[in-house]
Structure formats: C-alpha cells, structure tokens
Amino acid sequence: MACGALLLLFLVAGCSAGRSVPDDYGATTERNFTEGCTTSMTEDPGDGPSYSTAAAQSVCGCAYEEVTSPTGLSYERFREINDSQEAEPSELPDDLREIIDRCRRADAGPDGG
C-alpha cells in the first residue's frame, strides 16, 4: 500500500516553512490532514488503488474522526508520527495504518471497486 507516501503528504503538509504548527487537534490540523490525505489517495496512490476525490474525502474524513476520537491517537502520538516521518519517511506505524485501513474498508472503496 501507499501508506508511507500517504502519511508524508498529509502530516507534513501543515509543517511547511512559514506556517504555524498547531499544538493540538483543531481546524488547521484537520484541514492539513484531510487535504494531504485526499491528494495522496487521488494523485499518488503508490501500490494502492486510486480513489475519486469524493471517495478519498470520505476515507480521509473518517480517518481524521477516528484519529481524534477518545480511542484514537493522542495529539502527542500524532505529532510523534509526524516528526518521525518528517525526519525519515517510512511505512505508516501500525496504529495509524489500522485506522486508515478501517476507514477504507468501511467506505465503498475506489470507483469501480
């Protein structure tokens, strides 16, 4: 799967030079996460299927809700993943990959699939 590329795009999107880095979940983190995730799933799926914009937005919205839920990831864990990926991009860690995979399975999937 394109998990490594997906993570890099949606987490680092908010950490570019000249942008403030959030210190908790909120509108900026949600926007960065969903925009980067959607872009990755529609434009650079790697080994995974390419999603339509609507399907990717559905999966990414679900993933953000799961990540920020009480049983999701603490913001500290989210930042730890982001910082690690920024330093050295790699496969998604299991906790985040499982959330995204759950949302992919819950969604209707890519167009035609």
pLDDT in tens, 76-87: 999 898 888 778
Residue range 86-112, pLDDT digits in tens: 788 778 899 998 998 899 888 754 443
User: What's the whole-model pTM score?
Assistant: 0.75
> 43 or 96, which is more confident?
96
Burial 4-37 (b: 16+ CB within 10 A, else e): bbbbbbbbbbbbeeeeeebeebeeebbebbbbbb
> 97 or 22, which is more confident?
97
| pLDDT recorded at residue 51 | 86
